[in-house]
Amino acid sequence: MKIESTNKVKKGLAEMLKGGVIMDVVNAEQAKIAEKAGAVAVMALERIPADIRADGGVARMSSVGIIQEVMDSVSIPVMAKARIGHFVEAQILDSLGIDFIDESEVLTPADEVNHINKQNFKAPFVCGATGLGEATRRIAEGASMIRTKGEAGTGNVVEAVRHMRTITNELNEVIACDENEVVALSKKFKAPLNVLEDIKELKSFPVVNFAAGGIATPADAALMMQLGCDGVFVGSGIFKSGDPAERAEAIVIATTNFNDPKILAEISKDLGEPMVGINIDTLSEEEKLAKRGW
C-alpha cells in the first residue's frame, strides 16, 4: 500500500523543518549559499520582500525559470510563493513539483474574499497569520504549516513578536477554557469550531508554527524561538546584509541554540552590517503587508 500527499505526509515535512531556518533566495547562487550555511529549506523568489517593497507595483508568483533553477541547484526542500487566492499560480507551482507553497501576503492578493482551497493540492501549504482566528481559518482551508506574518522586508521584528504573542495568548485561552465556552471563542476569534475542538483535545497548536517577517539578526531568530516558534523564515535579512554567508550561518546556529546567550553572543561578533531596517510607524496602512489576507 502506498498513498501520496496525505495530510499526515504534508504535515510531516513541516515537522522535519522544525528548529531550522528557511531562507529567501533569488537565484541558484544564493540557494547554494543558503544550503551551505545550513538552511533546512529555501524560498525561491524573483525579488526579496525589501525589493518588492521598494519597487512597488504588482508582485506576482516568481518566474518558473527562477524557481526551476533553484530546484535544480540544491538538495534541500524548495518553497515558492503564490498570491493569496491565486489558485492557478498554486497549480503551476504544484505541477513543477515544488516542495511547499507559501500563499503569501508579500505578493499582491488576487482575491479579496477567498484564500486558496489548499486541500486540492499535492504540495503542502504554509500561510501567514496575525492571530489564532486567521491561523485556524488557514488550517481549515488545508494549510499544513503556519507562520507569523510579521512585516516582511522591514528588518523590524516587532510585528512578528506581536503576532506570535497574540497567537500564543489566544491559543492558551482556548486550551484553558471551559468546554462550554469553545463556541463563544470560535465566534470571538472568527475561528472554525472544528479546529478549536482539535486544539482543545491536543492541548497545543495543531500544526508547525514558524516565525516570519522582519527577522534580521541571530538575536531576532532566538527571540522568536524563545517566544515558542518552531523555526524561522528569514527573507531580506540575509541577502540584504553585509556578509550573507556569515549571517546565514549565525542565524542557523542561533535558531538551534536559542536558549544559550553565551553562544548567541559569540556568533553575533563580527557579523558585518545588518540590513537597514524600516520603522513600522513610518509605513502607511496601505504599505503594511500584514493587512493582506482575510
Partner 1 sequence: MKVGILSFQGSFLDHSKSVKAINAKPILIKNKLDIHELDALILPGGESTAMKKINEYSDIFLELDKFIKSGKPTLSTCAGTILLAKAVVGGDTVIPNIDIEITRNAYGRQTESFEGSVSFYNNEDIYCFIRAPKITKILSDKVKVIAQHNSEVVGVQQDNIVALTFHPELNNDRYYLDWLESFIKEGENVGTF
Give the residue numbers annotated as catalytic, written as ranges. 81
18 binds partner 1 (CB under 8 A): yes
Residues 6 or more apart in contact with residue 236 via CB below 8 angstroms: 24, 48, 49, 50, 51, 152, 153, 155, 216, 275
171 binds partner 1 (CB under 8 A): no
Helix (H, G, I), strand (E, B) or coil at 82: strand
Half-sphere exposure of 181 (CA within 13 A, CB side): 10
Picking from 249, 189, 251, 253, the residue whose alpha carbon sits closest to that of residue 220 is 251
CB atoms within 10 A of CB 166: 18
Q: How far is the CB of 179 from partner 1 (least distance, A)?
A: 25
Q: How far is the CB of 76 from partner 1 (least distance, A)?
A: 6
Q: How far is the CB of 293 from partner 1 (least distance, A)?
A: 24
Residue 248 to residue 252: CA distance in whole angstroms: 6
51, 69, 99, 173: residue in contact with partner 1 (rule CB under 8 A): 99
- Ramachandran angles phi, psi of 292, nearest 5°: -80, 140
Q: How far is the CB of 164 from partner 1 (least distance, A)?
A: 18
Strand partners, 11: none
Helix (H, G, I), strand (E, B) or coil at 71: helix
3, 54, 58, 113: residue in contact with partner 1 (rule CB under 8 A): 3
Residue 29, all three cell numbers = 547562487
Binding mask 246-265 for partner 1 (x = CB under 8 A): ---x--xx-xxx--x-----
92 binds partner 1 (CB under 8 A): no
9 binds partner 1 (CB under 8 A): yes
37 binds partner 1 (CB under 8 A): yes
68 binds partner 1 (CB under 8 A): no
Residue-level length of the chain: 294
105 binds partner 1 (CB under 8 A): no
Where does this chain touch partner 1 (CB under 8 A) — which range of 15-23, 181-189, 193-201, 269-277? 15-23
63 binds partner 1 (CB under 8 A): no
Picking from 59, 97, 54, 53, the residue whose alpha carbon sits closest to that of residue 79 is 97
- CA terminus-to-terminus distance, the chain: 39
Q: How far is the CB of 19 from partner 1 (least distance, A)?
A: 4
2 binds partner 1 (CB under 8 A): yes
124 binds partner 1 (CB under 8 A): yes
Instruction: Using CB under 8 A, list all residues that contact partner 1.
Output: 1-6, 8-9, 12-13, 15-20, 35-41, 71, 75-77, 94, 97-100, 122-124, 231, 249, 252-253, 255-257, 260, 267
